[in-house]
Amino acid sequence: MMALKGNSRIHWGRVILAAVLSEVAVMAILMVIMAAYRFLIAPGRTVAEYDAFGELAGYYVAPAAAGLATLFGALWVARKLTSAFVANGTLVGVAAVVLTGGLIFVARPEDRLMYGVSFVLRILGGYIGGVVAQRVASRRPTSIATLGEAG
């Protein structure tokens, strides 16, 4: 997908798609954990017990899952770039925070700290994804001609 601006080095379409997909990944991870708990680990419990477990899983798992999902999203965005790796990666994290930022206002007061942690981990995951992509790109040959000269 091309950048929105002709000479922009930010690939906004990919950045936004990666942010959305990172949030979808977090929800999928939580659903798998809750289904595994309900059907494999603790079948036969009450709805209230499953709800309580779901809240705990969301509280403790979602921030880490969000950071990792954003990291992988940033790697996906930056995989074909030749520059601005860190900027694109960090923007994936920022876009993911913008997508979910409003939730902090409707969250229970005791959950707001974890939302803040999640937001920081998303931005950090995007930044780290950009840094890793930049390091990987610096080690790969720039063209086929360069491959022929190296051998």
pLDDT the model gives residue 140: 82
Q: So what's the pLDDT on residue 114?
A: 93
Does residue 2 sit within a domain?
no
| Residue 114 covered by a domain | yes
Containing structural domain, residue 25: 12-150
**Is residue 6 situated within a structural domain?**
no
| pLDDT value, residue 1 | 43
Tell me, yes or no, whether 4 lies in a domain: no
- Give how far Cα 26 sits from Cα of 12, 58, 63, 127, Å: 21, 9, 9, 18
The answer to whether residue 3 sits within a structural domain is no
pLDDT at 59: 94
81 in a structural domain: yes
Check residue 13 and give its pLDDT: 96
3-state SS, residue 65: helix
Distance separating alpha carbons of residues 134 and 85, to the nearest angstrom: 6
Give the count of domains, the chain.
1
Task: Tell me if 83 is assigned to some domain.
Answer: yes
pLDDT along the chain (151 residues), means of 10: 56 97 97 97 96 95 97 96 95 97 90 94 98 93 54 45
pLDDT at 142: 65
